Amino acid sequence: MMDFLLLAEQGLNGLQLGVMLFLMAAGLTLVFGIMDLINLAHGSFYMVGAYLTAALVPMLGGFLPALAVAVLLTALLGLAVEVVALRTLYRRDHLDQVLATFGLILFFNELVRILFGPVPIFLNPPAALAGTVDLWGLKYPAFRLAILGTGLAVAAGLWLLISRTRVGMLIRAGATNREMVMALGVDVRLLFGLVFALGCGLAGLAGAMAGPVLAVQVGMGEQILILTFVVIVIGGIGSIRGAFAGALLVGVVDTLGRALLPATFRLVMDAASANAAGAAAASMAIYVLMALVLAVRPKGLFPAA
């Protein structure tokens, strides 16, 4: 029934969704692990990245320069938000942080609606990546392949940054034992600012690359945020490696669930109820995965400490 090519395509789809989630999860898990800050507004930076890219394409005349500038601006915006709004929250408890960053979501959604209007806006992939590429007989969307490549490159870059540089060492140390790093006289303010900006830049990159595939609209950040939280809980909070494994796992399980479950249900029941039950089961798949992982490893797959 399901031939090999189709399965390979679904595997690629799963990986592509996974690396997209990884870009979101990497920033969120670092901020949570190192700064002990629950940042619900992480999705807002994803939205800002997408909107900035869409707005900059006509100005800069190309997708790539627009993407680069948008990512940079999103990181700077993140830095500004950290200084203005979040710095005072580090010592407060998590509920205060949730309330405050939830407020930021409302703020950014309204701001974007005022600036760009309520109707979703237009962003297409660059012409060179608009079509499909032939992978050994499998026709795959070129832009999705580009997302997959970019995501893997960013993952490699982050791994180098974190395991091979001095900043990376501080980040790892911060994720393992924050108090000790502060006691050793590291400028935590600067470190926190950098980590936050890095996370926002990655979210902006995810948004910019999602723009040509998804609707660029107010509220797009909240949709992906829920999946991102699932990823970091599965991966283990504060761990980049965990975020990577969790993201790929969620991407593949979600995609294969949607592809295979309805067909599987059709083997045991009539088509109409199989379609409905399969769809319902597919939308539950990642949460079942999360529950299973937590039952076996309550701190996630790769806990930071």
- Which spans of this chain sit near another protein (rule: CB under 8 A)? 2-3, 6, 9-10, 13-14, 16-17, 106, 109, 113, 117-125, 130-132, 139, 141-144, 212-220, 222-224, 255-256, 258-259, 262, 271-272, 275-276, 279-280, 282-283
Look at residues 31, 114, 118 and name the one whose alpha carbon lies nearest to residue 79: 31
- Comparing CB distances to another protein, the nearer of 9 and 36 is 9
Contact 28, 42 (CB under 8 A): yes
What's the CA gap between 224 and 217, in Å, rounded? 13
- Comparing CB distances to another protein, the nearer of 117 and 157 is 117
Residue 113 CB, nearest approach to another protein (Å): 8
Instruction: Fill in the amino acid letter for 74.
Output: T
Q: What are the two backbone dihedrals, phi and then psi, of residue 135, each rounded to the nearest 5 degrees?
A: -105, 95
Residue 258 CB, nearest approach to another protein (Å): 4
Residue 288 CB, nearest approach to another protein (Å): 14
Residue 199 CB, nearest approach to another protein (Å): 21
Residue 41 CB, nearest approach to another protein (Å): 14
Q: How many CA atoms are closer than 13 Å to the CA of 191, on its beta-carbon side?
A: 21
What's the CA gap between 75 and 79, in Å, rounded? 6
Residue 157 CB, nearest approach to another protein (Å): 24
Q: Which tokens sit at 183?
A: 């006691």
- Comparing CB distances to another protein, the nearer of 17 and 52 is 17
What's the CA gap between 274 and 128, in Å, rounded? 40
Contact 89, 29 (CB under 8 A): no
- Comparing CB distances to another protein, the nearer of 241 and 258 is 258
- Comparing CB distances to another protein, the nearer of 90 and 107 is 107
What's the CA gap between 201 and 296, in Å, rounded? 33
- Comparing CB distances to another protein, the nearer of 74 and 217 is 217
